[in-house]
Amino acid sequence: MSWRLPTVGEYCTLKFSRNAAEVLETARKIAGELPKIGDFRRFYTEYIKWVDGIRAADPLLQIPYYPEYEAEKRYFHCNSWELKTVADYTGLNFNEISELMITQFWAWLRDGFIFNCEKSEKGLEYLEKAYYNSQTDSDREAFRELKGATGNGIK
pLDDT digits (tens, 9 = 90+) for 89-113: 999 999 999 999 999 999 999 999 9
| Residue 73: pLDDT band with limits 50, 70, 90 | confident
Mean pLDDT of 16-31: 91
Q: How far apart are CA 105 and CA 149, in angstroms?
A: 47
Domain boundaries, the chain: 8-57, 61-140
DSSP string, 91-153: ---HHHHHTSBHHHHHHHHHHHHHHHHTTSHHHHHHHHHHHHHH--S--HHHHHHHHT--TTS
Q: For the segment 41-57, what is each residue's pLDDT rounded down to a tens digit? A: 888 889 999 999 999 99
pLDDT at residue number 71: 62
> Global pTM?
0.80
Mean of pLDDT over the chain: 87
Mean pLDDT of 122-149: 80
For CA atoms 21, 8, 16, 88, give the dihedral sign: negative
pLDDT at residue number 108: 98
